């Protein structure tokens, strides 16, 4: 799922996710803390339109006519397979923040606009992580039986 996109191009959401409905979408503020285990060069907070689909979190500037406008040239979907998602209780600079740590040791902070939204995002992202894990386990079992 990881790749780069041209910031001037719009990404049709349907082509990114095999025509699946979004599990959740809405506004989140995001900050990249680590990228592949190294400190991210730009650690500023940015507002984003977030779309959660099929174990990946897509972030864009906005959504218009079914298209997601990427945040920047290095925008990529965050692969939630085997990711850890938790409330960032140790982060005290902003309220309602949760942390996503991916399997490749990238770390992202997300701030929800309100407590209800925070709880919804935590629930659906954790559900997506569990579904991604069970799909991977099923695929591995199928491979072993061949």
Task: Kindly state the greatest CA–CA separation across the chain.
Answer: 52
DSSP 58: E
Confidence of residue 71 (pLDDT cuts 50, 70, 90): low
Q: What is the pLDDT of residue 54?
A: 81
Q: What is the pLDDT of residue 67?
A: 65
Q: What is the pLDDT of residue 122?
A: 95
Cβ atoms 73, 49 nearer than 8 A: no
Question: Average pLDDT, whole number, for the chain?
Answer: 78
3-state secondary structure of 125: helix
Rounded to 5°, the CA angle 88-89-93 comes to: 80
> Can you give the pTM of this predicted structure?
0.74
Question: What is the average per-residue pLDDT within 54-69?
Answer: 75
Rounded to 5°, the CA angle 68-72-77 comes to: 60
Beta bridge partner(s), residue 29: 47, 111
Look up the CATH number of domain 11-145: 2.30.29.30
Question: What is the average per-residue pLDDT within 69-92?
Answer: 82
Pure H helices in the chain:
13-16, 115-145
DSSP 40: -
- Strand bridging mode 38-39 / 24-35: antiparallel
Distance CA(132)–CA(119), nearest Å, equals 20
Q: pLDDT per residue over 106-138, tens digit each?
A: 999 999 999 999 999 999 998 877 665 554 554
The percentage of residues in the chain with a pLDDT greater than 70, rounded to a whole number, is: 64
Neighbour count for residue 35 (Cβ, 10 Å)? 18
């Amino acid at each position: 799922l990881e790749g780069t996109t041209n910031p001037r191009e719009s990404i049709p959401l349907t082509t990114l996710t095999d025509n699946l409905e979004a599990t959740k979408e809405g506004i989140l503020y995001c900050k990249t803390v680590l990228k592949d285990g190294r400190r991210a060069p730009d650690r500023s907070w940015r507002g984003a339109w977030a779309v959660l689909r099929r174990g990946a979190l897509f972030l864009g500037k906005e959504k218009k006519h079914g298209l997601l406008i990427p945040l920047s040239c290095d925008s990529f979907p965050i692969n939630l397979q085997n990711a850890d998602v938790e409330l960032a209780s140790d982060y005290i600079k902003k309220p309602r923040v949760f942390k996503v740590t991916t399997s490749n040791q990238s770390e992202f902070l997300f701030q929800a606009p309100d407590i209800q939204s925070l709880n919804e995002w935590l629930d659906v992202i954790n559900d997506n992580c569990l579904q991604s894990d069970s799909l991977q386990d099923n695929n591995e079992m199928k491979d072993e039986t061949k």
